[in-house]
Amino acid sequence: MSYKRVLTIQDISCFGQCSLTVALPIISAAGIETVILPSAVLSTHTAGFTGFTVRDLTEDIPGIAAHWKKEGISFDALYTGYLGSAEQIDMVSDIAETLLRPGAPFIVDPAMADNGKLYPAFDTEYVEQMKKLTRKADVVLPNLTEASYLTGIEYRESYGEDYIKAVAERLLDDGAGTVILTGVSYDAGTTGVYTASRSGSSYYRHEKLPHSCHGTGDVYASAFVGAYMRGKTPEEAARIAADYTVSCIRYTDGDPEHGYGVKFEPVLGELIKMIGEE
Ligand code: PXL
């Protein structure tokens, strides 16, 4: 196995178990060197907390990227999540063009919305910019709310296979290489992941636990990146990430003190084992 180096760009929510505080340990545990570029620093994430502090790091990004370029530093993948501003999205696009090694995948989690709504920090300008980024992505990992914002297809709480196929096809037509739609649930007891590319599609169905936790999208995308960079196919990585995320939610479930994030750390061994299996 060659030693892979991934760059991930997303915020640091100092408290809250999401974005970089999840991506760095999970991708590292997968055996991949993980370089970080913080898009912003917040005291907590923005879901369920009030009065959090935010420092937008947009101004720092061009200088950091220029330094890396001068040093000859390059990456085997770029994985982006929650970004600090609409303006930052062009900078990220530039980094994908200048610092990725030839053939290295650009993986975009358009972390901007959930449960039918945009996160509080974002507006239509951010959505328009994110559309540009996902069109360039080799792999895009939206939940259904994000997919609806990206495609303009109406958000639905209940749907059938035709709706999911139409959403994924629109994202592929727009330019994404592989689409991984998360939280695709056709019945009350199960949920799953729909993977689509120009060569076909598949659905991995798994148990739906009674409570949803904040931060599961970041845990999922990070585990996907780790497995994918260790040579799994998109379908295999999508399944491993789903099984890992379910284990994390099961471990967290029922702790009223821990609604702010997912207890992903004690379950990392399971992820490492799944990635190590042939
Ligand atoms: O988990 C997505 C996320 C990341 N970063 C920040 C957030 C959220 C979701 O609310 O607020 C700052």
Question: Tokens at residue 7, please?
Answer: 């760059």
The residue-averaged pLDDT of 252-268 equals 92
Domain span at residue 46 reads 5-276
Question: Tokens at residue 149, please?
Answer: 């914002």
H/E run at residue 204: strand 200-207
Residues with CB under 6 A from ligand 1: 11, 13, 18-19, 42, 45-47, 82, 111, 119, 215, 217-218
Q: What is the pLDDT of residues 128-153, one digit of tens each?
A: 999 999 999 999 999 999 999 999 99
Angle between helices 234-252 and 216-229 (to 10 degrees): 140
Q: pTM for the full model? A: 0.98
Cα 238 to the center of its chain, rounded Å: 12
- Which is the closest atom of ligand 1 to the Cα of 46? 11
DSSP 7-33: EEEEEEEEESS-THHHHHHHHHHTT-E
We report the CATH number of the domain holding residue 231 as 3.40.1190.20
Judge whether residue 105 has pLDDT over 90.
Answer: yes
Average pLDDT of the chain is 96
Cα 272 to the center of its chain, rounded Å: 19
Minimum CA distance residue for ligand 1 atom 7:
45
Number of independent structural domains in the chain = 1
Give the whole-angstrom CA distance, residue 45 versus residue 19: 9
Interval between CA 239 and ligand 1 midpoint (Å): 23
User: What's 105's DSSP letter?
Assistant: -
- Which is the closest atom of ligand 1 to the Cα of 44? 12
The amino acid occupying position 152 is G
User: What's 47's DSSP letter?
Assistant: S
Question: Tokens at residue 267, please?
Answer: 């379950």
Q: What is the pLDDT of residues 226-245, one digit of tens each?
A: 999 999 999 999 999 999 99
Give the whole-angstrom CA distance, residue 217 versus residue 261: 11
Q: What is the pLDDT of residues 190-204, one digit of tens each?
A: 999 999 999 999 999
- Which is the closest atom of ligand 1 to the Cα of 119? 10
Q: Are strands 139-140 and 106-108 parallel, antiparallel or unpaired?
A: parallel
Judge whether residue 278 has pLDDT over 80.
Answer: no
Q: What is the pLDDT of residues 56-74, one digit of tens each?
A: 999 999 999 999 999 999 9
Minimum CA distance residue for ligand 1 atom 1:
215
